[in-house]
């Protein structure tokens, strides 16, 4: 298996309102407005409110690690909803760096992108994707994308409980609490699922919860979860798994339970190898016949590094995460099969009829209307002889038959005869602009010669947006940085040589804001944004060969100081006094073990910035307790102890949870920052990769904080 997505007016208004979360609301009409939150009834996935059977079709995103992350993007999901007609997408949240997810490749990057290492980052990403689901009126599967969730039960229970409370009133959510169990029996899986889903229900979410089944969710058995609105997961890859081999297992489960295929592929189980179009069609015909919802693996481009993924939707090795890029994308063989399937089943044009069924009739009814938010009105649709009530006046209202556009979204217009019509005002996306902020220094660092006139220049990245609209740049402070179109003539121009491009010229120290504007193009807003260009003095610093954290011998004389830095006098303060003195460039150490700090300051010069640096020096064996402000102390530390043992941090936690460990050098710079999930009891973290020197280690769990002085020898 893959080892690596009026009464009716009131009811409609409630359906739309239920999808609002943190300012997000539906911007188009989709399945969530038609069905609301989902649950189960016998063998069917159903609308909780109406009891109607629901079949969803969509895409799974790839693991949310370094490979799949670029596609966790609002434009990607909006594009898939509009162009592929997806009803649902799967948020495949990578929990840890597993061998199954190719952890040997770019493992540091993958670890950093996992939930265990970066919970706040993944939760922020989920928050954004929930908003995107709401705006597109489609469902999102929140997938604990793990093969060993039972060993992560405490972490999963905490996550799903908090997310259920956060999204309790969001009907778009579907929970998938275990992606693909590997070595767990159904009884063990059910025990885990009962605990996790209980946390979901306790925190207010009744929404559909999906549970993986034994051996990569191949449904060797199912059942045993005693919670409400539970379905069981089946996964298949058509070139490996035939319908004939698994049909009986699926139908056995369907006799008492709902089934949801949260991941399927046209390829072999590895996600690579051959593609079976015939087996894929046989499977899809079967799923459609049974009304089983499904998500294809996966919405990404084919090749990352040197590794191709045949199950990917798009050809090539380029990230495609803008609508413009996706519109020009080429599909893989698998992607073509999936695109044809999804578009053939798309119900994009039918949802408005679904939510006004039985009411879209009468003298005041008119054809469901849509327009861009860039327009001011829609004429010739509504009846001038009728009056209408809008379910959302921030979207549209009707005056004397003219539909007045106020903003993006969906409004149901109820005529005075009780008829209902949907008006959908579509949001216009921004054009793509990639120019970063720029800092150029007097030395020429950050600048180049592009026009042949000056080396203090920077070529603007773009003369037109990706969407094709010409960009105009203007500076609010042309005495600092001017910007104009020039012929790019130097070797630094590369493919732009001898072309007219926008070039910024740095003139005097200061800050300028460069405004970029471009006219609207079909489907996209006008561009109007700014970037900051800074012309700065050179960085002044002391020679780190001498001025550095170090240990010196008792009674020794060591070069530490620099009398001047770029002809600017430097002043040093040694704290505490009496343990060492400055003699020109030399530090003369006393004969007592001590730890001192040396603070260096130098004023700003004509071409150099000011200096403000601090180092720490141990004399002999050192004595960290002498340094004011770093005496070990515990703040509200009633359940956690922490200490350094050599280069290892030993923590004893009373309860499991996330711990933040921050290593700070004597200049106040953070040299290492780790968020780690620890179990109750003793835990050890190796900090051996931190360079030799003197540090403070700050350990925080919930409100408990401990600061530990650490001399890493």
Q: Which is the catalytic residue, given 75, 180, 268, 302?
A: 180
DSSP track, 117-170? T-HHHHHHHHHHHHHHHHHHT-EEEEEEE-S-GGGGHHHHHHHHHHHHHHTTT-
Catalytic residue among 263, 302, 309, 462: 263
SS3 433: coil
Using alpha carbons only, give the angle 266, 321, 334 rounded to the nearest 5 degrees: 15
- Burial profile 239-267: b = 16 or more Cβ within 10 angstroms, e = fewer: bbbebeebeebbeebbeebbbbbbbbbbb
CB-based contacts of 117, cutoff 8 Å, min separation 6: 97, 111, 674, 675, 676
Give the strand pairing for 402-405 and 396-399: antiparallel
Helix (H) or strand (E) holding 390: strand 388-390
Which stretches does DSSP call E strand in 7-107? 38-41, 44-47, 57-61, 88-94
Q: Which residues in 587-599 are b (16+ Cβ under 10 Å) and which e?
A: bebbeeebbbbbe
Residues 6+ apart with CB under 8 A from 152: 95, 96, 144, 146
How far apart CA 274 and CA 612 sit, in angstroms, is 62
- Rounded distance between C-alpha atoms, residue 472 and residue 122, angstroms: 37
Three-state SS string over 577-634 comes to CCCEEEECCEEEECCCCEEEEEEEEECCCCCECCEEEEEEEEECCCCHHHCCCCCCEE
- The first and second tokens of residue 436, run together, are 């970063």
Instruction: State yes or no: is 180 an active-site residue.
Output: yes
The label of the residue with tokens 């695109």 reads 339
Phi-psi region of 79 (alpha: psi -120 to 50; beta: other; left: phi over 0): alpha
Q: Identify which of 529, 517, 506 has the alpha carbon closest to the alpha carbon of residue 473.
A: 517
Residue 311, helix vs strand vs coil = coil
263 is catalytic: yes
Token pair in block for residue 396: 């549209």
Planar angle of CA 45, 49, 51, nearest 5 degrees: 45
Q: Which residues are catalytic?
A: 180, 263
């Amino acid at each position: 298996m893959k080892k690596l997505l009026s009464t009716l007016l009131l009811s409609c208004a409630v359906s739309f309102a239920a999808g609002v979360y943190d300012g997000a609301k539906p911007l188009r009409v989709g399945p969530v407005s038609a069905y609301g939150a989902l649950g189960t009834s016998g063998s069917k996935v159903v609308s909780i409110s109406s009891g109607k059977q629901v079949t969803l079709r969509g895409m799974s995103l790839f693991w949310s690690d370094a490979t799949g992350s670029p596609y966790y993007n609002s434009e990607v999901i909006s594009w898939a909803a509009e162009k592929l007609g997806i009803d649902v997408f799967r948020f495949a949240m990578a929990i840890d760096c597993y061998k199954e997810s190719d952890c040997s490749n770019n493992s540091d990057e993958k670890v950093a992108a996992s939930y265990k290492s970066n919970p706040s980052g993944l939760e922020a990403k989920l928050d954004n994707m929930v908003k995107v689901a709401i705006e597109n009126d489609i469902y999102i599967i929140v997938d604990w994308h793990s093969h060993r969730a039972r060993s992560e039960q405490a972490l999963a229970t905490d996550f799903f409980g908090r997310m259920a409370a956060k999204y309790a009133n969001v009907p778009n959510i579907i929970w998938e609490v275990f992606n693909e169990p590997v070595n767990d029996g159904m009884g063990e899986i059910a025990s885990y699922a009962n605990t996790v889903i209980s946390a979901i229900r306790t925190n207010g979410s009744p929404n559909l919860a999906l549970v993986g089944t034994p051996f990569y969710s191949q449904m060797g058995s199912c059942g045993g979860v005693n919670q409400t609105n539970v379905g069981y997961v089946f996964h298949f890859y058509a070139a490996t798994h035939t319908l004939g081999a698994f049909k009986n297992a699926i139908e056995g489960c369907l006799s008492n339970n709902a089934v949801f295929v949260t991941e399927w592929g046209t390829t072999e189980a590895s996600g690579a190898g051959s593609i079976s179009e015939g087996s894929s069609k046989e499977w899809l015909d079967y799923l459609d016949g049974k009304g089983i919802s499904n998500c294809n693996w996966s919405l990404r481009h084919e090749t990352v590094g040197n590794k191709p993924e045949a199950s990917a939707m798009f050809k090539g090795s380029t990230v495609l995460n803008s609508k413009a890029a996706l519109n020009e994308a080429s599909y893989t063989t698998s992607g073509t099969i999936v695109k044809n399937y999804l578009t053939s089943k798309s119900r994009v044009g039918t949802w408005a009829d679904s939510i006004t069924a039985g009411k879209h009739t009468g003298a005041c009814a008119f054809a469901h209307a849509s327009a861009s938010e860039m327009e001011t009105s829609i004429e010739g649709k509504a009846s001038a002889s009728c009056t209408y009530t809008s379910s959302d006046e921030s979207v549209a209202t009707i005056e004397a038959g003219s539909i007045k556009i106020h903003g993006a979204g969906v409004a149901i217009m109820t005529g005075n005869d009780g008829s209902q019509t949907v008006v959908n005002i579509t949001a216009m996306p921004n054009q793509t602009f990639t120019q970063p902020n720029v800092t150029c220094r007097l030395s020429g660092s950050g600048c180049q010669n592009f026009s042949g006139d000056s080396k203090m220049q920077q070529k603007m990245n773009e003369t037109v947006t990706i969407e094709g609209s010409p960009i105009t740049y203007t500076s609010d402070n042309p005495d600092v940085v001017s910007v104009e179109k020039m012929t790019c003539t130097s070797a630094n121009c590369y493919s732009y040589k001898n072309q007219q491009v926008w070039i910024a010229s740095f003139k005097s120290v200061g800050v300028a804001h460069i405004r970029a504007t471009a006219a609207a193009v079909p489907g996209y807003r006008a561009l109007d944004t700014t970037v900051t260009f800074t012309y700065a003095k050179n960085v002044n610093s002391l020679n780190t060969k001498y001025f550095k954290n170090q240990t010196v011998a008792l009674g020794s004389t060591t070069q530490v100081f620099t009398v001047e830095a770029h002809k600017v006098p430097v002043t040093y303060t040694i704290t505490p006094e009496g343990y060492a003195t400055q003699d020109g460039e030399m530090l003369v150490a006393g004969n007592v073990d001590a730890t001192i700090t040396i603070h260096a300051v130098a004023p700003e010069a004509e071409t150099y910035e000011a200096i403000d640096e601090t180092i720490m020096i141990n004399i002999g064996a050192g004595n960290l307790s002498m340094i004011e402000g770093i005496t070990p102390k515990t703040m509200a530390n009633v359940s956690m102890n922490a200490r350094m043992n050599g280069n290892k941090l030993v923590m004893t936690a009373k309860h499991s949870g996330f711990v933040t460990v921050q290593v700070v050098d004597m200049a106040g710079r953070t040299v290492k920052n780790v968020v780690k999930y620890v179990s109750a009891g003793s835990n050890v973290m190796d900090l051996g990769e931190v360079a030799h020197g003197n540090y403070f280690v700050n350990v925080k769990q919930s409100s408990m904080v401990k600061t530990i002085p650490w001399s890493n020898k």
